[in-house]
Amino acid sequence: MTLAEQVLAGDRLALARLLTLVENDDAQGLTALDELYPHTGTAHLIGLTGGTGTGKSTLVNQLARYVRSEGIRNTDGGQSPVRVAVVAVDPTSPFTGGAILGDRIRMRDLAGDAGVFIRSMATRGALGGLANRTRPVVQTLDAAGFDWILIETVGAGQSEVEVARMAHTTIVVEAPGLGDEVQAIKAGILETADLLVLNKADLPGAERAAAALRTSLRLGSPDPMGEGTGWTVPILMTVATDGAGVAELVESLCQHRQYLAASGEWERRVRLRVEREVRDLLQRDLLARLLDRQADGRFDQILGQVEARQLSPRAAVDLLMRQAGS
């Protein structure tokens, strides 16, 4: 059996191994992923992003625990069981290349459940709140048959919006006391929210924070992303430490999925993501190929000329393109 076949057969050790290969851009892993790709596309990819310490990991724990015990509402009005995968990203040290991946600490309630698979990832130098290889890791889990894939970003600041380009549904998690109304109207992370969660809603100031978020959403156009119409971003209050509000959050996630399907937005987003992924890969490979074609030392020599202000960066690129014969 190939590695891909083992993964499709539900072998968790093979899945874990393949995730490592894919994360390391290993040729064997990428071949397996090619084989698995036709089996992807069914999972609901749910991104969770927001500032450090807003409670993303704890919320992931509660969400997964809730849907594992209750299932989710299906289109017939019944409840369907869900298998849940979690991809939790933490930052790599820019100095040593090491990382502490600590998101499992908050997900201990999920231990021992064979329907849950938690994988930690280090950013390995990527910005934007995810690792460069988060996308293929998510695709592998999708092919492995998980119905929900929760993608948790590093404690993101204001512009770590990468997850919104990967997930079907993006949850932005906020907490009281982290910012004023001006923070709430800045561009960036808030605009990417399909669902807005105010966690730690038992803390003082929660109502005021919710009001600020509500005002900010109302100030925005009803369709800030220019991505279809008909979805009003709900603001949900949760207390992830005791599970308050989690049932409502799950209900909102189901509603969002239905909205995506009914409005054609699901296909539109998938189309955008496919195009983006192919463009990204093409860009990477073209760059590698182009640099490959340069005579030895030529690239460094041109960089030197730019450094010495003899060539502008733009002119240097023209030169490199011409020499690559393209």
Partner 1 sequence: MSHSKGRVIIAKPGLDGHDRGAKIIARALRDGGYEVIYTGLRQTPEMVAEAALHEDADAVGLSILSGAHMALVPRVLELLSEQGQAGLPVLLGGIIPDDDVPALKQQGVFAVFGPGTNTAEILKAFGSAVEARRAAT
Which residues of the chain form contacts with partner 1 (CB under 8 A)? 12-13, 16-17, 19-20, 24-25, 92-93, 96-102, 104-105, 108, 111-112, 117-120, 122, 124-125, 132-133
Query: Nearer Cβ to partner 1, position 7 or 206?
Result: 7
Half-sphere exposure (CA, 13 Å, Cβ side) for 149? 28
| CA 267-186-256 angle, 5° bins | 30
Query: Nearer Cβ to partner 1, position 78 or 95?
Result: 95
Query: Nearer Cβ to partner 1, position 1 or 100?
Result: 100
Write down the least CB distance from residue 81 to partner 1, Å.
20
Do 277 and 233 touch, CB atoms closer than 8 A? no
| CA 245-247-253 angle, 5° bins | 105
Task: Tell me the C-alpha distance between 273 and 165, whole Å.
Answer: 7
Instruction: Provide the token pair at 55.
Output: 């409670």
Query: Nearer Cβ to partner 1, position 133 or 298?
Result: 133
Do 54 and 178 touch, CB atoms closer than 8 A? yes
Write down the least CB distance from residue 140 to partner 1, Å.
12
User: Among 200, 131, 128, which residue's Cα sits nearest to residue 160?
Assistant: 128
Write down the least CB distance from residue 235 to partner 1, Å.
31
Do 269 and 168 touch, CB atoms closer than 8 A? yes
Cβ contacts of 302 within 8 Å, gap of 6 or more = 311, 316, 319, 320
Residue appearing with tokens 């109502």:
207
Query: Nearer Cβ to partner 1, position 82 or 110?
Result: 110
Query: Nearer Cβ to partner 1, position 24 or 79?
Result: 24
Write down the least CB distance from residue 295 to partner 1, Å.
26
Write down the least CB distance from residue 133 to partner 1, Å.
8
Write down the least CB distance from residue 116 to partner 1, Å.
9
Query: Nearer Cβ to partner 1, position 22 or 72?
Result: 22
Write down the least CB distance from residue 99 to partner 1, Å.
5
CA distance readout (Å), 265 to 10, 43, 175, 230: 31, 16, 29, 10
